[in-house]
Structures are given as structure tokens and as C-alpha cells.
């Protein structure tokens, strides 16, 4: 097995440079197709070229760095777009660790490795959009009709990168397997003082948009018993949902009302409308189904009780994905040699592009710790030492394939 010797200063230097695109305090604001995102992708394409990898953008802005040669090769990577308020490492770490491993492998005569930064993993349009399209899980035509919170379609947004799209398609058939390095984004490794997570499975996710419509009215003259108050509808929905879900979930199940917009959102007006999202995640499809039924029944019951109209639409469904056991075993043995006694097998409570790619090839993941378990926040951070250790494990796993 050819050792792939990564260079820590190059890894950390590129991570810091990538952080500079859309940097905001200690975090980043780099949503898909924003100027910061497109500039970051152009820079990344340059770094791939400098590393001896041929950069190719596909029609939606997924960026691949392809090694010399034609045969199927290992693909590694993640995403470089961010949440509306994102951490500097979410996705970015996996992209740069992949780039570093791919170029180090070229330098020491190791196996050909391709690197990728998928587009819109963070869901400006729909969760894990770029890798969903690339993996054939949603057609480009259907994806182009997806809209962001401002009503801009994916078709309109990706037109801003039209000049970058390469002529040649880069399909999943070009690759033999996929490994994604990522920060854990949770507290497990950090609290245990461990360095590497060998991911066994990735939870599934469902997201829906809801609208309660009542009666906008005067906040002073409208008696409480005559109100059809949309906010009160949301408040009782949230409370009642927690009560009804209690019997259907495990301690690892999560559900979130992450967005809520009152209309007209004025102190002296009884809100006539509220738009909100419900997102739920679990490792079991059957449990996701049961939760979906409970969520719908609760919304229906609250609407009926409070005289509200209800509209809802699903906008993202990603099935639970097991990681490939053989790849996971190789990551485990790499962890055993690089960080003996300081690793664990674990599930992923966050969604990752590997969940989509797993539909087209063997896919697996490794985690490095997140300080205080914080992510999707400007406070997200990981020690430099842990970032380097994760890249060493990634390189060792790649060399063993
Ligand atoms: O939400 C997620 O799990 C991912 O970070 N987009
Ligand atoms: Mn991510
Ligand atoms: Mn994320």
C-alpha cells in the first residue's frame, strides 16, 4: 500500500482561504449560487488545476477535480455552500481534505482520486440538491422548478454559473466509491475526547411547509373568543405535536420548526396568517412515516379547532442511508492506526451528500469532532490538530482501497 502523506500546512492554508469567501465573523455566509459561493468555486477549480486535477463543473454547479486517466476511481468530497449563517468547516472540511488527499496521492504515486464540491447541500432550494440531481434522485427539470425563500427558481440561480458548466458530463459511473469527511456537528466525539467517528448510517429527513390562515384583525377590539389567530394556531400545534410524538419517537429522533413568518407581523394586529416549516429526521423509514401521519393529523386538528385554513407542501425527502460496510471497515482500520483508542462507530444525525451518492456507489463517512458540538452557527469550530488527524485517516483509508 502506497502511503499518502498529506501536508498539514497546505490543508489548513486552503481551509483558511476558503473561509475567506463570504466570511462573517468566525463563520461564513455562502449560500448556493451567491457571489461568495461562485467565487469560492472558481478558486477551488484553480486549486484543483494547480494540484494536477482537471476541474469540471456540471450543469448545476457541482465541481469535480478529475485525476489523470480514464478508469473508475475513488471520489471524495462534500459541499462548499453554507447555511444562511454557516460554520467555516461544514462541508468545506470534506472538500479540502479530499483535495489534499487527491493531490498528495498524485505526488506520491498513490491511487487516482477525484475530489468534488457538491452544490446546494445546505438547501437553499431543497436539501442536498446538487448531489440529489447528480445521483439521479430528482430530474433536472423538476429541480429547476424548485424555489428559494424569495421565490427565485434553481434554473434562474444556476444560470449565473452557466459560463462555468463544462461540456462533458461527469456521471457517477466515473467513480468506484465515495468517502466524505465531515465535522460531526454534534457533541459525541467532543464530550468523549475522541478524534474520529466511523459513520455507520445517515438518518433520513422529511421537510414540509405549512400555512395556517385565520382572520387578520384589530388587536384591541377583537374579543379573544372571536379570534382566528394564526400565531395561536402555530403555538398550539407545536405544543400538541410534542405531546403526540412522544409515544412514537426514540431519544435519537428529532423534529424542528425552524422557520416561522407571521403576517403582517405587527404588534397591534391579530395575525391572520403564519407560514412555517416542519422538518423531522430518524434512522428508520417506518418511524418517519408514522411521524408524518402524526404531524398531518395534529395540523388538521388544530386548524379545525381554531377555525383556521391549512395548506401544506412537502419539499424535501431523503431516505435513511446505511454506509458501505467494507468502506467503513477501511476507515475504522485507518482510525485504529492513526488514532488508536480514540475513535468510535456512530450514526450521523446530520444529512450529508453521501446519503444520495450511496444510491449509486458504495459510500461512507468519517467525522472529526465539533467543539462543544456546535454547528450551523458562526461559532462552529474544530481544533487544527483534529482537522489534520481526520485528513490523515482519510488518506490512509484511501490508500488501502
Ligand atoms: O441539515 C443538515 O443535516 C445538513 O447539514 N445540511
Ligand atoms: Mn454539511
Ligand atoms: Mn450543514
What does the pLDDT read at residue 1? 73
Closest residue to atom 4 of ligand 1, CA basis: 351
Please give the model's pTM, rounded to 2 decimal places. 0.93
Taking the centre of ligand 2 as the mean of its atom positions, its distance from the CA of residue 186, in whole angstroms, is 12
- The atom of ligand 1 lying closest to the CA of 375 is 5
Residue 263 has pLDDT above 80, yes or no: yes
Residue 166 has pLDDT above 90, yes or no: no
C-alpha cell belonging to residue 39: 467565487
Contacts of 159 (CB under 8 A, 6+ apart): none
What does the pLDDT read at residue 175? 98
Residue 2 has pLDDT above 90, yes or no: no
> In the predicted model, what is the mean pLDDT of residues 32-50?
98
Spell out the alpha helix ranges (H) of 159-197. Answer: 188-192
Query: Taking Cα atoms as reference points, which of 10, 127, 118, 15 lies closest to residue 380?
Result: 15
| Residue whose grid cell is 455566509 | 29
> In the predicted model, what is the mean pLDDT of residues 66-92?
96
What does the pLDDT read at residue 283? 96
What is the DSSP track for 64-95? EEEPSSSS-EEEEEEE----SSB-SSTTHHHH
Cα separation of 337 and 167, whole Å? 42
Cα separation of 136 and 125, whole Å? 17
Taking the centre of ligand 2 as the mean of its atom positions, its distance from the CA of residue 264, in whole angstroms, is 34
Mean pLDDT of the chain: 97
What does the pLDDT read at residue 316? 84
First and final C-alpha spacing in the chain: 9
Contacts of 392 (CB under 8 A, 6+ apart): 6, 338
Which of 79, 82, 281, 351 is the pocket-test mutation for ligand 1 (most atoms within 8 Å of CB)?
351
Any atom of ligand 1 within 6 Å of the Cβ of 121 = yes
- The atom of ligand 1 lying closest to the CA of 83 is 6
Any atom of ligand 1 within 6 Å of the Cβ of 354 = no
Residue 167 has pLDDT above 80, yes or no: no
Taking the centre of ligand 2 as the mean of its atom positions, its distance from the CA of residue 199, in whole angstroms, is 14
What does the pLDDT read at residue 169? 84
Residue 160 has pLDDT above 90, yes or no: yes
Any atom of ligand 1 within 6 Å of the Cβ of 308 = no
| Residue whose grid cell is 423538476 | 142
Which of 79, 184, 282, 376 is the pocket-test mutation for ligand 1 (most atoms within 8 Å of CB)?
376
| Reported confidence tier of residue 89, pLDDT bands at 50, 70, 90 | very high
| Residue whose grid cell is 377555525 | 307
**Buried (b) or exposed (e) across 292-327, using 16+ Cβ within 10 A?**
bebbeebbeebbeebebebeeeebbbbbbbbbbeeb
Condensed to tens digits (0 to 9), the pLDDT of residues 335-376 reads 999 999 999 999 999 999 999 999 999 999 999 999 999 999
Any atom of ligand 1 within 6 Å of the Cβ of 316 = no
Any atom of ligand 1 within 6 Å of the Cβ of 102 = no
Do the Cβ atoms of 14 and 100 come closer than 8 Å?
yes
Strand partners, 151: none
Say which DSSP state 322 is in. Answer: E
Cα separation of 175 and 62, whole Å? 15
What does the pLDDT read at residue 92? 98
Condensed to tens digits (0 to 9), the pLDDT of residues 195-219 reads 999 999 999 999 999 999 999 999 9
Residue 185 in 3-state DSSP? coil
What does the pLDDT read at residue 325? 98
Do the Cβ atoms of 178 and 79 come closer than 8 Å?
no
C-alpha cell belonging to residue 284: 428508520
Condensed to tens digits (0 to 9), the pLDDT of residues 291-339 reads 999 999 999 999 999 999 999 998 788 999 999 999 999 999 999 999 9
Which of 85, 350, 365, 373 is the pocket-test mutation for ligand 1 (most atoms within 8 Å of CB)?
350
- The atom of ligand 1 lying closest to the CA of 376 is 5
Amino acid at each position: 500500500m502506497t502511503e499518502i502523506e498529506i501536508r498539514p500546512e497546505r490543508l489548513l492554508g486552503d481551509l483558511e482561504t476558503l473561509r475567506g469567501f463570504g466570511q462573517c465573523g468566525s463563520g461564513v455566509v455562502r449560500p448556493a449560487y451567491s457571489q461568495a459561493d461562485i467565487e469560492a468555486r472558481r478558486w477551488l477549480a484553480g486549486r484543483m488545476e494547480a494540484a494536477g486535477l482537471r476541474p469540471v463543473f456540471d450543469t448545476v454547479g457541482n465541481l469535480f477535480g478529475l485525476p489523470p486517466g480514464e478508469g473508475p476511481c475513488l471520489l471524495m468530497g462534500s459541499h462548499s455552500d453554507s447555511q444562511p449563517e454557516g460554520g467555516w468547516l461544514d462541508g468545506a472540511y470534506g472538500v479540502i481534505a479530499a483535495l489534499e488527499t487527491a493531490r498528495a496521492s498524485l505526488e506520491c504515486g498513490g491511487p487516482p482520486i477525484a475530489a468534488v464540491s457538491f452544490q446546494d447541500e445546505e438547501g437553499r432550494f431543497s436539501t442536498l440538491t446538487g448531489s440529489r440531481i447528480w445521483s439521479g434522485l430528482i430530474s433536472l427539470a423538476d429541480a429547476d422548478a424548485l424555489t428559494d425563500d424569495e421565490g427565485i427558481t434553481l434554473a434562474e440561480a444556476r444560470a449565473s454559473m452557466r459560463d462555468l458548466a463544462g461540456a462533458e458530463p461527469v456521471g457517477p459511473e466515473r467513480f468506484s466509491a465515495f468517502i466524505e469527511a465531515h465535522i460531526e456537528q454534534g457533541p459525541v466525539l467532543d464530550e468523549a475526547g475522541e478524534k474520529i467517528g466511523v459513520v455507520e448510517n445517515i438518518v433520513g429527513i422529511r421537510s414540509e411547509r405549512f400555512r395556517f390562515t385565520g382572520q387578520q384583525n384589530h388587536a384591541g377590539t377583537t374579543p379573544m373568543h372571536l379570534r382566528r389567530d394564526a400565531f395561536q394556531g402555530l403555538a398550539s400545534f407545536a405544543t400538541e405535536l410534542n405531546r403526540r410524538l412522544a409515544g412514537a419517537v426514540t431519544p435519537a429522533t428529532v423534529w424542528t420548526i425552524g422557520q416561522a413568518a407571521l403576517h403582517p407581523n405587527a404588534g397591534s394586529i391579530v395575525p391572520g396568517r403564519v407560514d412555517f416549516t416542519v422538518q423531522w429526521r430518524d434512522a428508520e423509514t417506518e418511524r418517519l412515516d408514522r411521524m408524518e401521519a402524526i404531524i398531518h393529523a395534529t395540523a388538521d386538528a388544530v386548524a379545525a379547532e381554531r377555525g383556521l385554513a391549512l395548506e401544506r407542501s412537502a419539499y424535501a425527502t431523503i431516505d435513511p442511508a446505511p454506509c458501505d460496510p467494507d468502506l467503513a471497515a477501511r476507515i475504522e482500520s485507518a482510525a485504529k492506526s492513526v488514532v488508536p483508542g480514540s475513535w468510535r462507530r456512530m450514526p450521523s444525525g446530520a444529512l450529508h451528500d453521501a446519503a444520495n451518492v450511496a444510491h449509486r456507489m458504495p459510500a461512507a463517512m468519517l467525522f472529526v469532532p465539533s467543539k462543544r458540538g456546535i454547528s450551523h452557527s458562526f461559532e462552529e469550530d474544530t481544533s487544527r490538530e483534529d482537522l489534520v488527524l481526520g485528513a490523515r485517516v482519510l488518506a490512509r483509508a484511501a490508500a488501502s482501497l
